[in-house]
Amino acid sequence: MTEEFHSSKPIYLQVADRIYSSIVRGEISHGDKLPSVREMAVNMGVNPNTIQRTYAEIEREGIVETKRGQGTFVKDDPGIVSSLQNRMKKEQIEAFVGNMRELGLTADEMVEGVQRYFMEKGGHAE
């Protein structure tokens, strides 16, 4: 099964984002082994060099560690999930605020819009 990628961001970073999302959602836990480079490349429909670059990048960020002859594992650190979640939340908020500023909205208008969204969806903004 090949994945769909956007041309606006390098594929290796998009693969990294998908791994991060899987970790945050609990699909991959701390201590879990990631698929081999070759297996991940086949699953994603990309060149193995792209996956190698992805794994190198997320290892550089301290999310995974490579154990020679065993594979690549998510670091056995429960704090990784909250760290990734906070980072991803910040990135999403920055993108949202940037898009809203391009529309000419103020911070108050953004907050009011988010609150109205939750009220209309039956939820509540706390």
Domain boundaries, given as residue ranges, for the chain: 11-77, 80-120
Please state which CATH class domain 11-77 belongs to. Answer: mainly alpha
- Contact (CB, 8 A) for 63 and 75: yes
Q: From first to last of the 126 residues of the chain, give the pLDDT tens digit.
A: 556 888 889 999 999 999 999 999 999 998 999 999 999 999 999 999 999 999 999 999 999 999 999 999 999 898 999 999 999 999 999 999 999 999 999 999 999 999 999 999 876 555
Beta strands in the chain (DSSP E): 64-67, 71-74
- Taking the model in full, what pTM does it have? 0.80
